Amino acid sequence: MFFSSFLLMKSSTAASNYNVVSFGAKPDGRTDSTKAFLGAWQAACRSAASVTVTVPRGSFLLKPVEFRGPCRNRITFQIFGTIVAPSDYRGLGNFGYWILFVEVNRILINGGTLDARGASFWACRKSRKSCPVGARSSSGVTISGGTIATGDDCIALSQGSRNIWIERVKLWTGTWNHNVTVTSSVFIKSQNGVRIKNWARPSRGFVRNVVFRNLIMNNVGNPVIMDQKYCPNGNGCPRQSSGVMISGVTFANIKGTSTTPIAMKLDCSGSSHCTRLSGTAMGVPTVRS
């Protein structure tokens, strides 16, 4: 009986951990491991028990990928190594994203480094040619520890995202509707810090109960910004004002240095006024870049 129980326990433990290497991923930073990551994710997503997808030490090349739910139980995405994007931005094609979690509830993303290699992409964008991590319609998402480096949004939350917790993350050279907490993290030389952005268009959407606290800004542009008049190039924004309702946003203990003259900018909609905004213990002086 003891022997049978031991075998059962060992089998159960193995089944709760899906290592991407076991699905064919190569830690050399050159071999495309996208299919292997998807295989590990799909196996974990089908599991009736709480499971872990493990990315071991090493460098893993990942092309644009969607980790899609809903899944049957809680998933931990444990990263010990580095996930890198293709060195040539054209390898991302026209997807508009690099790593995307869709309709995923109860997920913890922990540790590791994500390197989107965004320099070549933005060199292309600046030349006006047609040339980031995101969550959409997801809930119960936790991102904890590790480093994220992109050329644009380090963490982007699109419509339908709720109950999001982000902590102890280093965000390099990048930028970020309901119950979202960002805490105990460091922003380093990014274009924007904590940011709520809405298109200047009619909308019935909302952003509420958002907390930004215990954050360090290290030479960051626009450390704190709310922009409800976002309308790049002036196209498709006839009203120049957002219909999104923003309420219950807290900024607390945000410190560091800003590379822009205005460290905190709250530009709310004229038609849908911001409500219940609060800020405490703020200290972000401007420095020369």
Alpha helices in the chain (DSSP H): 2-15, 34-46, 119-126
Q: Which carries the bigger pLDDT value, residue 249 or residue 175?
A: 249
Identify the pLDDT of residue 137: 52
Same domain for 199 and 76?
no
Same domain for 112 and 238?
no
Q: Choose the final residue of a domain: 110, 145, 174.
A: 174
Same domain for 170 and 201?
no
Domain assignment present for 233: yes
Mean pLDDT of 147-151: 57
Same domain for 113 and 36?
yes
Q: Choose the final residue of a domain: 140, 174, 208.
A: 174
Tell me which of 32, 88, 115, 178 is the catalytic residue. 178
Same domain for 123 and 261?
no
| Average model confidence (pLDDT) across the chain | 78
Of 268, 74, 55, nearest in space to 163 by CA: 74
Domain assignment present for 102: yes
CA 169 – CA 46 distance, rounded (Å): 29
pLDDT above 60 for 119? yes
Mean pLDDT of 25-43: 96
Written as one letter, the residue type at 100 is: L
pTM score, two decimals?
Answer: 0.57
Domain assignment present for 184: no
Residue with tokens 């092309």: 63
- Number of residues written out for the chain: 289
Q: What CATH number is attached to the domain comprising 101?
A: 2.160.20.10
Domain assignment present for 1: no
Is 152 designated active site? Answer: yes
Domain assignment present for 10: no
pLDDT per position as a tens digit, 66-106:
999 999 999 999 999 999 988 876 666 656 678 888 888 88
Same domain for 86 and 112?
yes
Q: What percentage of the chain carries pLDDT values higher than 70?
A: 67
Same domain for 214 and 284?
yes
Mean pLDDT of 131-145: 57
Q: In which order are the strands placed within the sheet that holds 65-68?
A: 65-68, 99-102, 133-136, 155-157
List CB contacts of 262: < 8 A, sequence separation 6 or more: 222
Same domain for 77 and 152?
yes
CA 159 – CA 230 distance, rounded (Å): 16
Tell me which of 152, 153, 227, 267 is the catalytic residue. 152
Identify the pLDDT of residue 253: 92
pLDDT per position as a tens digit, 200-226:
888 778 888 889 999 999 999 999 999
Same domain for 39 and 154?
yes
Same domain for 104 and 218?
no
Identify the pLDDT of residue 126: 53
Identify the pLDDT of residue 289: 47
Beta strands 194-199; 224-230: pairing state: parallel
Domain assignment present for 27: yes
Same domain for 155 and 244?
no
Into how many domains does the chain fold?
A: 2
Domain assignment present for 6: no
Q: Choose the final residue of a domain: 174, 201, 216.
A: 174
pLDDT above 60 for 27? yes
CB atoms < 10 A from the CB of 113, how many?
17
Beta strands 162-167; 139-144: pairing state: parallel
Domain assignment present for 113: yes
Residue with tokens 């997807």: 95
Residue 42: which pLDDT band, with cuts at 50, 70 and 90?
very high
- H or E, element range at 266: strand 264-267
Same domain for 222 and 151?
no
Q: What is the DSSP string of 80-132?
A: SSEEE--SSGGGGTT-S-SEEEES-EEEEEESSEEE---HHHHHHHHTT----
Host domain of residue 280: 192-289
Written as one letter, the residue type at 139 is: S
Residue 239: which pLDDT band, with cuts at 50, 70 and 90?
low
Written as one letter, the residue type at 231 is: C
CA 106 – CA 186 distance, rounded (Å): 24
Identify the pLDDT of residue 19: 97
Could you tell me the CA-to-CA distances from 204 to 17, 243, 271 in Å, in that order? 41, 6, 12
